[in-house]
């Protein structure tokens, strides 16, 4: 699997414009960045990931200055890391948990920690927080995924994810 092959699998299925970029990390691993112009296109991307037996590693999110959210799905297909970036201005995304079951917990985390609703998600239960704590509490702090994984500020992935915040 390579980026060109993945791009060929999705280009006729994505309805709106998108951008795909190739990057390398410090260990010379190839990383693909797919930037969607419309959040609905996460579904055909997820179906392509599923067709190649890929999995969702984690989903990260951050709040933008205009109160929209940037959401990045991080996928793995046989060692190729594919990051799919989308923006939601209405605090919702389209769930892909029925297509890629490994996205289940990550999407529930988005709902619980950032108050981003994964529309059509099969499970409404909370993962971590007591119901007395408001949804979206981590919008005020740091991404739970980042905290949980202990990723450093020097990590190339987070430099790319946080690029828009710094600009």
Give the CATH number of the domain where residue 104 resides: 3.30.460.80
Cα(65)–Cα(127) distance, integer angstroms: 28
DSSP-derived secondary structure letter, 90: S
The reply to whether 123 falls in a domain is: yes
**Residue 135 structural domain:** 3-161
Write phi, then psi, for 156 (nearest 5 degrees).
Answer: -60, -35
Neighbours of 45 (CB within 10 A): 25
Range 10-23 average pLDDT? 93
Q: Name the one residue in this structure whose structure tokens are 């055909």.
A: 44
- The domain tally of the chain equals 1
The reply to whether 140 falls in a domain is: yes
The reply to whether 166 falls in a domain is: no
pLDDT tens digit string along 59-112?
999 888 898 999 999 999 998 999 999 999 999 999 999 999 999 999 998 988
The reply to whether 94 falls in a domain is: yes
- pLDDT, greater one: 136 or 95: 95
Token code pair at residue 104: 């289940």
pLDDT at residue 15 greater than cutoff 70: yes
The reply to whether 61 falls in a domain is: yes
| Residue of 88, 132, 96 lying closest to 114 (CA atoms) | 88
Does the predicted model carry a pTM greater than 0.85?
no
Range 26-42 average pLDDT? 93
Token code pair at residue 16: 């709106």
Strand partners, 20: 34
The reply to whether 103 falls in a domain is: yes
């Amino acid at each position: 699997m390579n980026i060109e092959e993945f791009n060929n699998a999705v280009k006729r299925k994505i309805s709106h414009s998108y951008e795909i970029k190739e990057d390398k990390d410090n260990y010379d691993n190839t990383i693909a960045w797919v930037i969607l112009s419309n959040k609905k296109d996460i579904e055909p991307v997820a179906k392509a990931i599923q067709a190649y037996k890929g999995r969702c590693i984690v989903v990260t999110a951050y709040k933008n200055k205009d109160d929209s959210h940037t959401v990045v799905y991080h996928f793995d297909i046989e060692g190729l890391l594919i990051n799919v970036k989308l923006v939601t201005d209405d605090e919702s995304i389209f769930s892909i948990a029925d297509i890629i079951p490994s996205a289940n917990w990550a999407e529930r985390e988005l709902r619980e920690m950032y108050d981003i609703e994964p529309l059509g998600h099969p499970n409404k239960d909370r993962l971590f927080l007591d119901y007395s704590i408001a949804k979206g509490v981590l919008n005020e702090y740091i991404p739970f995924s980042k905290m949980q994984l202990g990723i450093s500020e020097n990590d190339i992935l987070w430099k790319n994810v946080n690029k828009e915040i710094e600009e």
